[in-house]
Structure formats: C-alpha cells, structure tokens
Copies of this chain bind each other. A is one copy, B any other.
Amino acid sequence: LFLSIFAGIDLGGTNIKIGLLTSEMKVLAQSSCRTESERGFDFVIGQMVAAVRALCGQNHVALASLRGVGIGCPGPLNLKEGRVIMMPNFPGWRDLPIREALHQAIGLPVVLENDANVAAYGEYRMGAGQGLKSLAMFTLGTGIGGGIVTNGQMVRGETDTAAEFGHIPMDLNGRLCGCGRRGCLEAYCGAPGLVKRFGEAVEDGRRSVLVGQGRKCEDLTAKDIFDAAAGGDALAGEIVDRTAYYLAVACDVVVNIVDPDIIVFAGGMTAAGDLLMKPLEKYARERFFPRPKVQTRLAISRLQGDAGIIGAALCAQNTFETSAS
C-alpha cells in the first residue's frame, strides 16, 4: 500500500508545530519545537527542516517520500511570491523569501499560506466545519486572526489581506491598535487588550479578587481574568461579558459580509467554554438579521491547536497531489 504523505508546518511566534498527514486525512504524527525567531531567519528555516526530518525518522517515513510541505505563517505575506512581508512577533523579519528558502533547505515542494487561513481550512475539512458549505474562524490569542472558507476554498483576497477579523472597528475613536488604527477588535479582545481593560477598571477604583496583596495588573494574563470570572469575580465577569459582546459585533459584521454556515472560535480563550460562548451567542443573535439569527452556527474549534498543521498539510495535498499515486 502506497500512501501519499504531506507535512504541515504551523510557524508561530513561540512554537513551531509540525504534523504528517496522509492523503486519507489521518494525522500520522506530530511534534513541536521552540521558534527562537530572535536567532534569525536561517536558523528558523533549519529548525523546521530538522523537525520535519526528525518526525519522519521517528515514524519510518523517508523525508524524500513526502509529496510536499504546507506552511502557515503569520502575515502580512505575499503568497504569490512566497514571501514574508513582515511578521509582528519575529524581530527584524522583513521581506523574506520563506517558500523558496524552505524548499531549498528541505528539497521538497512547499506551499505558503496565511496561518489563520490554514487553520480555518483545517477546521472546515476536519473539524467543526465538516459537512458544511462555508466557515469563518476567529483565532483568539495575543492577536486576533481570521480565516474564511467558501465554496471549498480559502478566501485569500487579491492582496492576501482577506479575513483580518482583528481589525473590524468597535469604536473609531477607541483604543489604539498595533496596526495604527483606533478601536480595532484586537485592541479590545486580544489578550493584552483584555488585560488592559481590566487594569483600567481597577485604576478607576473597581475591586477584584485578582488585585491587592501585592498583585499587580501588569502581571495578570487573560486566563487569570477568565478564571476569576468563572469563580464569580464581578469585575472579571464584566470584562469577559464585554469581550463576548465585541466578538458578537464582529461576528455580525462577518455574517453581513460573507454570511458563512458557521463561525468557529479557536485559541486559548475558548477554554473558557460557555463562560465566553453563552453571552457571545446571546449578543450575536440579538444583532443578526432574521435568517442568520436562526441558522448561522457559532461554535468552538474542534481541532484547536492542531487546526494549523492539519490545514497546512491539506493545502500541500491540494497543491501537490497528482492523480498518479
């Protein structure tokens, strides 16, 4: 039995994740390593090759037998040219030919895609979107990314700028976003924005179990705030409720522009489960037009951290699998 095997790489600011996927859509194996982007582009390319090679070795797959590699990168990218334009969490990374560099180093065909787009594609094919016609996905972390799949295809846009859900405006005169605009969703609901909103309320005199006894707001994480909300802390609860509201507004915008079958949320915050999703559902259905109000599904990602490697490997399969097997 000859199986086609594809590698999927999810290049993150902290970790690189790697997976091997068969053309029958089984995940053979996966691993991860530190990115250490501060050691430079060539180092990271080397890390990725070594990680794929090691994973192949452990699983008795010859590296040269892989049919291709898909890599999901944070943007902005130039997909046609296979280049990184800039990567916010990779100091000094600018205008780098990542597709060609990885291809040369690994000796296999490589396809480059946006990280949130491949995660959405993985979720569409093998996760919460399975069997549905279209999907949009919010990836909630330090930044907020997005991906759209319609008619079975990722929506990349003409300048690879589609599905940047983190920059849907909540308040045109609001919080300064890392992108330079004011009031973007990411400035409120990215993990640092959430912590800042909490800290500002504390400065305004609000109390919380999270502060006092020498604990400072700067040391808090978004998870601390979700945990406190789950434990009944009123201020943390309000911050979470407002987070759900902003995400619901953004869902409504996505529905009123692309109108997918399902909107999926992935990332650390979704570990909060109903604490996040119940108010998000309520606010979203209050806003939606009549038909999406009853039809459009909202759900937490099923693949979560694996969506990226699965989606990247599926992109490699779509690009490089030939009818000959």
Contact of A260 among B146, B158, B169, B261 (CB under 8 A): B158
Q: Are B289 and A169 in contact (CB under 8 A)?
A: no
A65 adjacent to chain B (CB < 8 Å): no
| A296 surroundings in chain B (CB, below 8 A) | 158-159
Pair A259/B157 contact, Cβ less than 8 Å: yes
At the interface, yes or no: A3 with Cβ under 8 Å from chain B?
no
Contact A158 B133, CB 8 Å, known A290-B76, A290-B85: yes
- Assuming A289-B179, A291-B85, is B78 touching A157 (CB within 8 A)? no
Copies in the complex: 2
Q: Which residue of B lies closest to A181 (CB)?
A: B287
Find the B residue at minimum CB distance from A134.
Answer: B158
0/1 interface trace, chain A 303-319, chain B, CB 8 Å (1 if under): 00000000000000000
A13 to chain B, nearest CB (A): 19
A159, A252, A255 pick with most chain B CB within 10 angstroms: A159
Q: Does A196 contact B (CB under 8 A)?
A: no
Minimum C-beta distance from A10 to chain B (A): 22
Enumerate chain B residues within 8 angstroms of A181, measured Cβ to Cβ: 252, 287
A250 to chain B: closest CB distance in Å?
A: 9
For residue A165, which residues in chain B have a CB less than 8 angstroms away from its CB? Answer: 256-257
The listed residue (B159, B259, B287) touching A259 by CB distance below 8 A is B159
| Cβ of A160 to closest chain B Cβ, rounded Å | 7
Question: For the complex, what is the distance from the CA of A257 to the CA of B257, rounded to whole Å?
Answer: 8
Given contacts A155-B150, A179-B289, contact A259 B162 (CB under 8 A): yes
